[in-house]
Structure 1
Amino acid sequence: MNILFILPEYYPHSGGGISTYYDQYIRALQPYCNKIKVIVGSGYTHADNAFEHNGISVEYLKPALYQKYLNKFKLYDLLPDFKRDIAAAWAMWEQARQGDGFDLIECTDFSLGFIPWVVDHAKPVITRLHGSAGQISLHEPGIPADLSASFFQQTEFLLLPKCDQLISHSEANRQFWNNSFNLNKVVKVNAVYTDVYEPLPLSQRESFGLVTARLQRWKGPVELCKAYRLLKDTPPIKWIGRDTVYEKGITTGSYLKQNFSDIWGNHIIYHPPVPRAQLLQLQQKAKFGLVPSTWDMFNFTCVEFMAAGIPAICSDGAGAADLVQHNKNGFKYAGDDIQALANCLETINNLTGQDYNRIAGAALETIKTELSPGNVMPVNLELYQTTISTFKPIPSNAYFDALYKPSDQNHPISSILNKQSLKKLTKYYADRIRSKLLGKT
């Protein structure tokens, strides 16, 4: 088989969950393919780089090509985030020569890379559901969503079901999309993970817990602070990750400092992202790992903890909780139950050496078996073969063409502004100028 991957991120230049997934997965897929190629790009990722990574040909979306397609989506000038991603998707489609030489195209839901392949449906396309922009906007209620968020959701709802196969590695996410589409089209296939490490015994570990995640509302920092307030004599927790907006005008870190000054910065210590090698060292030294997300499509940090033989606490709001058996290979709690999180923290902190090593060993064994290539790859290969053998090109759809195909037609933004009242526009201009003068925008 010859497989083309259209991805928004990929190692070695990104350490997000999608990069982690495909770094592991593509390595496991290599022995079964004649050719694999990765094109990396999104509305925010483009460069003239081309290289090999672990024997895989990798190209980034070419900036000049991206700019060419950006100019073909003036229809969406009022939706800049949506416009950037749809332009990037079509630019990668051209860069890939419409998939010439490949038997199958694999995309992700995030960043809309699937759009050209289902609108111009000449090749079989599989899309893996890693957590879409539309889903994320549902779980960030404090950040005012512009119209782009609605268009992401509409596009995902309309076009994802047109993919030849949809795959998720989270049971909750599988159910979410099947319920949304009212179709039983999404299948769950476990992720592959092979980077395992022999665990240090409890006696050689340092007394701290570890969270490795963006500092983001739905990653659970507020719930963790609330749970920590219920405890005594609990070791400090290090939170490693990029700070993000909590609500308009305030970052998550600032919000936590204002509302949990007794906890945040004293017992829960924030640190910006660190290089991957340093992160691995922290994971191997930590007494326990923690995934307090109220929602998370999956969360590979839970897998990384388990693969390093670290007992982990995982909210059932994260898809990775599928792997956790409470008090056997880790600890699991209901994501909205602050007391349950506090109880898990207290339990894990008071484990005997024997129980600690038992749980750490069971966690490691779970990764070695349930996420092993030997168990997971036959399922993926069967899905590939079935998708390729049953595929038939699908005729174009006039509505989809009008909505989602590039066009040289001019759509001046003035045509929309002319329909607004002068009173509304005058107020907007006055507010915008005032914000500029105050340095707020």
Structure 2
Amino acid sequence: MLGTDGCGMNWHLVVTGPHRGHLWLVTGEGATPFGAEFGHTTAESGFAGWVRHWAAGGPADGEAIGPAAFDGRQRLGCAELGGWTSCRTAVVARYVRLAEFGEHRAGVAADIRRGGRHPIADPSGQRRRPGPDAASSGTVERPARLLHRTGEPPIHPPTDRDPQLPYWCGLGVEVVPAGCDHLRVRELDELVQVDDPAWPELQDVFAAGAVPVRVLAPDPDEGRRCLLQMQVTARSTLGALAWNCGGLVLDDGWLRVFGGGSQEGQGLPSIGQVNGFPAVFDPAWYPAAGLVVGHDVLGGVFVLNGQDCAAAGRPGAPGRMIYFAPDTLAWEAMDMGHSAWVAWLLSGRLETFYDGLRWPDWRRETAALDPSQGISVHPFLWSEEAHADLAATSRRAVPMREVLGVAADFARQAGPVDPGFLGEV
């Protein structure tokens, strides 16, 4: 072992077998080789190339180290490492832009402290997002949504808590390279009984968060079904939420994060119910376009991109969060992984994110909702009238499926693209 990036992420030099002389990044759940020939970086492979790469300051902007460049469909095991018996079955899916930020963010609670604005927002805040055709629908374009307040350091994902993506967003069961015999489905015990589970850390984040959060009691049977189908461990934030809670209700009811489903009479559906998971585990099933992980009361939809996101017409990279904005009827890339997204939700930055979409006394209205309800706004949020004076609009509580259905219908008729699947509620 040559060094560590923390959180069980270690750099190893292979000394035997076909990969002798190559550097590998090995974690508790995955492994990936370093070097241009593997498609992960433009840097030279081998020890000398690795040293020169880090000495030069790491990858160029947007260049990923580690499994980010994999297509999400390959699996590497001990045989590929030349008999390296300390390696577990390696599910290559972790996104690790380690050197880009100078240090690794350890866990969901820690931010990498580096100045500047979030990369999706123009520094001037003046970049415009494409909206529906104003001439035909009366809609207006709006400035790009800023994820962070002026002067605040951005959250740079991904983190060690992001899920192992290939199981659920690639082919369901990966294509195994020649020489590997590790194709198998992980049983529940393997997914739950892990070192360093994310849930205790998440509980600390909830307690210290800048927004109110209500943790719903879980439905054990539904949580088990969700975890098995996603094939992610409880060490990931996604797996921890599915296994340990029925979901989260944040900011006095404004936003809902899906977990394992709640047994409460007015609880949230599970992430499996929202995404239409098979009733019985099916290793060949996966959400091709992505996984719906959260809704806000206005019909905004948070999705963790799947492997086929480009084919689905959605922005961003696989394994990154995107948002369907109810005021523009368009998808927006958020440039963060799932675990960083959960931390961001609790960071106090929602006020900036929803600038222009919250009216005076909105907390009273959202707090009165049950989790199955959303808020219908008339004139619609994408109209010039709502943009000019949101407080003057008429609002009422309706089933969440109605809020999503209206937004989806208008997006198909007048929006920039068909938004596709927004979740079943």
Q: How would you bin the TM-score normalised by the shorter chain?
A: under 0.3
Q: TM-score, normalised by structure 2?
A: 0.27
Q: TM-score, normalised by structure 1?
A: 0.26
Quick check: which has more Rg, 1 or 2?
1
Structure with more relative contact order (C-alpha pairs < 8 Å, separation 6 or more) = 1
